[in-house]
A = this chain, B = another copy of it.
Amino acid sequence: MAPAEHPRMSDVAERAGVSLSTVSRALRGAPGVAPAVRENVLRAAAELSYVVSRGASSLVTGRTGRIAVLVPFLQPWFFGVALAGMNTRLRAAELDMLVYQVGDVEELDGYVRSLPLRSNVDCVVAVSLDLDEGEIKQLDELGLPVVFCSQRVEGRPSVFIDNTGAARGATQHLLNLGHTRIAYIHTRDQTGFSWSSQERRRGYEQAMAEAGAEPFVVSERPGHDGGALAMGRLLSVSHPPTAVFAESDDVAMGALRVLRRSRLEIPEAISVIGFDGSDFAELLDLTTVAQPVFEMGVRAAELAADIVETGRPSTAQVELPTTLLVRQSTAAPRRSRNLTVRAAPHS
């Protein structure tokens, strides 16, 4: 059946055999509509290719049905998984997901400034961003609630892990294996987004201090390249470390590349541990601290959906657990180590 040229809400009501207000409530996802009735209305609307004018409807409900998700990057594994988690939960809430990549603090500021000019959203989910008080306040003035994903902000709805505790545990694992010369690869760049990075470094430093071991931190740019550069530096000092803790799996992978090209066996010559629990860590048998990224996305979307549905602010603090996945890249150090010759395969 060909759809009418411009079907109206009354056409949907007639086809579904319900009142106009029932159609309106069903299409908005408002409560008080029986599931079967709602399905009827949705089917009738779909059959007629009825187009809800969100603009008009939002004048009534004050809702746009959209969530803005801000990410510093779209490419890394972490963000794809987090977005997939959010997408799943937002679909269940019938909310649409606008995605903005704000690659640095300046872009973020530009986004926040341009918000009044953009299509409205009901809520903002900030993923792994360091929104400062000024930026949060600017969003407040627009009346937009902000949910923090992968960042803990006191008094604000946040989903996060205990980065410090997890990093302390990973460092403790290396100490327990007998390592004492443990280096930490830390990254910093111009994005200004560095919350997790700082927290993890703190955990490493705490564990080293508790063990009376000397911390050894190298800072490089983020990503594979930073990991590779850092590993190069670590292999160039007079007493190279016997173990390396990289602040993320991405960074660890750059370090692994250098070790592979140097024909240094892992873990015989050097132990390596990452952070994230990415698919690639598994492929490379990398010991890592796994965080539940998909679940973080789901939970952040859930907080956002709740805020939108109830219209009530939230201060929920959702801490999710991490897991140390011990794989082949970490082992007790060899008594006698010589980085200048190729290590023999373990027997």
Copy count, this protein chain: 2
Chain B residues, CB < 8 A from A283: 224, 253-254, 256-257
Task: Tell me which of A112-120, A163-171, A192-200, A299-307 binds B.
Answer: A112-120
A81 touches B (CB below 8 Å): yes
Chain B residues, CB < 8 A from A101:
83-84, 87-88
Contact with B along A71-112 (1 / 0, CB 8 A): 001111101110110011001000011111100000000000
Are the C-beta atoms of B98 and A118 separated by less than 8 Å? no
Residue of B nearest to A294 (CB): B75
Given A96-B119, A117-B46, A77 and B74 touching (CB < 8 A)? no
Task: Pick the residue among B49, B99, B117, B282 that contacts A142 (CB under 8 A).
Answer: B49
A81 to chain B: which residues have CB within 8 Å? 74-75
Which one of A53-61, A150-158, A204-212 is at the B interface?
Answer: A53-61
A65 within 8 A of B: yes
- A120's partner among B54, B75, B113, B224 (CB-CB below 8 A) is B54
Q: Do B118 and A52 touch (CB < 8 A)?
A: yes
Q: Which residues of B contact A279 (CB under 8 A)?
A: 224
B87 touches A51 (CB 8 A): no
Contact between A141 and B49, CB atoms less than 8 A apart: yes
Among A42, A79, A97, A283, the one with the most B-chain Cβ atoms within 10 Å of its Cβ is: A283
A interface residues, tally (CB under 8 Å): 57
Complex: how many Å from CA A119 to CA B113?
24
Contacts of A3 in B (CB 8 A): 141
* Residues A52 and B98 in contact in the complex (CB < 8 Å), given A75-B84, A79-B80: no
Complex Cα distance, B73 from A81, in Å, reads 9
Instruction: Decide if A120 touches B51 in the complex (CB within 8 Å).
Output: yes
Query: Which one, B45, B64, B117, B224, contacts A50 given CB within 8 A?
Result: B117
* A236-B46 Cα distance, complex, nearest whole Å: 52
Q: How far, in Å, is A283 (CB) from chain B's closest CB?
A: 5
Determine the chain B residues whose CB is within 8 A of the CB of A257 once the complex forms. Answer: 283
Closest residue on chain B to residue A263 by CB atoms: B345
A66 on the interface (CB 8 Å rule)?
Answer: yes
Residue pair A117, B55 in contact (C-beta under 8 Å): no
Contact B119 A65 (CB under 8 A): yes
Least CB distance, A199 to chain B, in whole angstroms: 24
Query: Does the CB pair A75–B65 fall under 8 Å?
Result: no
CA distance A45 to B49 in the complex (A): 36
Instruction: Apart from A42-B114, A52-B116, A97-B99, list 10 A-B contacts with CB within 8 A.
Output: A46-B113, A48-B116, A54-B119, A55-B59, A65-B118, A83-B101, A96-B98, A96-B118, A98-B98, A254-B283
Q: List 30 A-B contacts (CB under 8 A).
A: A27-B117, A46-B116, A48-B116, A49-B116, A50-B116, A54-B118, A55-B58, A55-B59, A64-B119, A66-B98, A74-B81, A74-B83, A75-B81, A76-B80, A77-B80, A79-B80, A80-B80, A83-B99, A87-B100, A96-B98, A96-B100, A96-B118, A96-B119, A97-B98, A98-B99, A224-B279, A253-B283, A254-B283, A256-B283, A257-B283
